[in-house]
Structure 1
């Protein structure tokens, strides 16, 4: 117990008077108000007229939760911390599983290896975003919830009826979010697990104008040519290697969105200008990725004929 100054008031006035003390900036927020018969003793930091000394218990504050990314009912932490995982599970009733990411994205299909630290042993969950619901399996296909705002930005830029190509669609967050503005969308990925989940998500969200395609994005230009008003390149580590294909796919006056991890501002600007001359380029910072590296997007408008 801690001795401190107190304001004594009738219990029936307790909440109103407590708010006044908070507004005045004199309430001792680290101490818990105490009942004394029909009165309430509220701890304060000053000793105005009418105060008295009283004993109070300290407020118990929970320790901060380990840093984690929330994807639907799954929390992903970078440290192998079983106790921290249990605290996340206890603090978040909607969380059913806590995973530890054992390494970075790797392999041809951009997946991670996870171990289950707490909860249900699964890597599968449902993720809600702006009125849509996505089935995610983190062991089968890469997914990050951190581009939800970016997907809305792209949607706001679109004209109704656009033809869109997502060269690296994953489980379908961009195509499904953009579908109500598009005429049609080609959604391509070379990962069979991603395409299976994409088809499931198209059905779940009743999306009928997206064409799923299992294939190598590098071959898309040979198949489709200049057909799309907008091309998405969300493969930040190597998307720039596919710029030549992207420009073949994009109509004159169309837009390419190149997502990249970079260490300096404008890192890919010269490359873009060399492949897509006379284009208009707008570079945007999205989020920090690691020390000295951040996630950026280049909005590239091709010159009209």
Structure 2
């Protein structure tokens, strides 16, 4: 049987990368078979966006649903520590090499978790591919979220050639590496030595010679970079970014843009804290739902002295 569904049209040459990204975002409609149209593949999606089209897709045979999980490269992270279900999940995707169960929430200054291996290779390390980049990730050594891939691509697309960029909480470097082609220089800061080690590997893997890792507390960056000013500053520390606002505004040149990410329950939660620091535009939008009561938002802030 066939039914009409919204589909994302992509060239066949990049179809596998897009398929993995749609899975990571949780919007690939797995009840329908992707369609072929000339040199393009049409992936059915549960949430449509700009450019998606309606298409008649064939229904796939009904199978037992896979356990809830998140994909990070070749690793699946399950919410429930069910070993039998983990083995079934591992067998369902040829690209998987490991299934993990989270043993702790994100904790500590380094924002890391501990995991238990439920199936497959005993590792927390994998390679993530997004928008043509390859990123080495170790889930126990440094925090990484594949759900921000579209946001990283959005920021890179906003840039003008030659910008000076500061990533204040760079992790393994995905924002910094995505922005590097349009930047004259990118300073990528993190407090976690493990994140810096992985970032250095990712800089070399993606041949980004203008990305400079900085092992430091972001609060101290005005002192570490006393004569620097930046055209674009990325603040991806959603749990509590407010203590770092003074450092960001100190390092932002007149006319710069700050991208501030925050977890919040209601729209505009950070506007009072921002209003005293900028006379420019502040544009807020939701990146994704985080929990039943919170969403992940980004504020794009134009800095005018």
Q: Distance in 2 between matches of 1:236 and 1:287?
A: 12
Q: Deviations over 1:186-215 (max 9, x none)?
A: 000010000000001111111100001111
Q: Is residue 80 of structure 2 the alignment partner of residue 82 of structure 1?
A: no
Contact 1:240 1:258 (8 Å CA) reproduced: no
Q: Deviations over 1:204-252 (max 9, x none)?
A: 1111000011111000012324510000000100122201110001001
> 1:248 — aligned with what?
250
Shift of 1:63: 0.8
Shift of 1:83: 1.9
**Total equivalences in the alignment:** 248
Contact 2:278 2:302 (8 Å CA) reproduced: no
Shift of 1:69: 1.0
Q: Distance in 2 between matches of 1:185 and 1:263?
A: 32
Q: Distance in 2 between matches of 1:22 and 1:120?
A: 39
> 1:267 — aligned with what?
269
Contact 1:261 1:294 (8 Å CA) reproduced: yes
Shift of 1:77: 1.3
Q: What is the aligned-residue RMSD (CA, Å)? A: 1.5
Shift of 1:116: 0.6
> 1:70 — aligned with what?
71
Q: Is residue 236 of structure 2 the alignment partner of residue 234 of structure 1?
A: yes
> 1:217 — aligned with what?
218
Q: Is residue 298 of structure 2 the alignment partner of residue 297 of structure 1?
A: yes
Q: Distance in 2 between matches of 1:156 and 1:207?
A: 17
Contact 1:179 1:210 (8 Å CA) reproduced: yes
Q: Normalising by the residue count of structure 2, what TM-score does the alignment of the two structures yield?
A: 0.79
Q: Secondary structure at the match of 1:290?
A: coil
Q: Distance in 2 between matches of 1:60 and 1:166?
A: 46
> 1:16 — aligned with what?
none
Residues 60 and 185 (structure 1), Cα distance of their counterparts in 2 relative to 1, 3 Å cut: closer
Shift of 1:86: 1.1
Structure showing greater Rg: 1
> 1:198 — aligned with what?
199
Shift of 1:22: 5.5
Q: Secondary structure at the match of 1:180?
A: helix
> 1:164 — aligned with what?
165
> 2:14 — aligned with what?
none
Shift of 1:139: 0.5
Instruction: Provide structure 1 residue ranges, at least 5 long, that are not aligned to the other structure.
Output: 1-20, 24-58
Contact 1:221 1:245 (8 Å CA) reproduced: yes
Q: Distance in 2 between matches of 1:143 and 1:238?
A: 17
Q: Distance in 2 between matches of 1:290 and 1:79?
A: 17
Q: Secondary structure at the match of 1:299?
A: strand
Q: Distance in 1 between matches of 2:204 and 2:278?
A: 40
Shift of 1:130: 1.1
